Amino acid sequence: MKILIIFLLSIVFLLSIIFLSFPNNEYKQLENGNILSPDNIEYTFLGNEGKYIIFGEPAFISHIKWQPKKLQHLNGNTDAGVYSLNHDPNLAILYRIKYNSEWAQLYVKKELSENNYSFENCIKFKFFDMENVFAGYYWPDSDFLETDFGINNDIDIHNFIDELKNNEIFTDDKYYFLKNPFGELWDFNGFIGYIYGFFQDIPNLAFPGTIWKNNDGLYYLVMDNRLFAISIDWLNKLGYNDTDVILINNNK
């Protein structure tokens, strides 16, 4: 009996050595869906791709432990797992590519997850000219973060959001910031540019909206799947210069 106990203890010891010899530097997903880093920083789900805009190229960090390592869509060469954004040393958010979905996800540090990341809680708004509506969605350059125009004081932000809410247009239509609110799908005539709202804790993340000029000569903002009339005065404060804008026609 004593020999058997010694044998079993030896097996347990050897298994422990083998287990500890495996690298433990991969992120893992918890039962509640949160993601845990190797140094025990917990991240919670923030939103799916499309709700927010990210600045800078994602850089791969790690696969998710016990999950497939490649995206099982397209050519299968994309690493599934978590990415950093704009080389953020604090890793406030993680960009996640799931192995079984072509749509990316964003996760935020748990201590930041109670913050309100709606456009009403932005600390800064800026307008950017874009050559087309997709350039502001897929390829916004991190250099945009260094520009000093726009509105960023509490009074202007409060008045801007208040005026938007007072000029919201209510219809049964569904509004998406990649779609012309006055035209058909893939009709970008009247597209002017983007408005981005930025947050205190995550500088390389923005809440997006698109600006359109309708045949009535007025300007409109599509943001948060809602449609707002917006004045030229506010657009100018945000950084819009109508002499520099080239409208995209239906042939592009």
Mean pLDDT, the chain, integer: 84
Q: Based on the fold, state whether residues 177 and 230 are members of the same structural domain.
A: yes
Q: Based on the fold, state whether residues 123 and 183 are members of the same structural domain.
A: yes
For residue 7, what is the enclosing H or E element? helix 2-21
If one compares 243 and 63, the residue with the highest pLDDT of the two is 63
103, pLDDT greater than 70: yes
Q: Based on the fold, state whether residues 227 and 162 are members of the same structural domain.
A: yes
What type of residue sits at position 184?
E
Q: Could you list the residue range(s) of the whole structural domain that residue 209 is in?
A: 119-238
Contact 151, 125 (CB under 8 A): yes
Query: What letter would DSSP give residue 142?
Result: G
55, 81, 112 — which closes off a domain? Answer: 112
71, 97, 112 — which closes off a domain? Answer: 112
pLDDT at 86: 79
Q: Based on the fold, state whether residues 64 and 80 are members of the same structural domain.
A: yes
For the segment 61-89, the average pLDDT, to the nearest whole number, is: 87
pLDDT at 139: 66
80, 112, 144 — which closes off a domain? Answer: 112
Whether 12 maps to a domain, the answer reads no
Query: What letter would DSSP give residue 69?
Result: S
Whether 5 maps to a domain, the answer reads no
Q: What is the pLDDT of residues 159-210, one digit of tens each?
A: 999 999 999 999 888 888 788 999 887 888 999 999 999 998 888 889 999 9
> Considering the entire predicted model, what is its pTM?
0.80
pLDDT at 2: 54
The domain tally of the chain equals 2
Cα(146)–Cα(10) distance, integer angstroms? 60
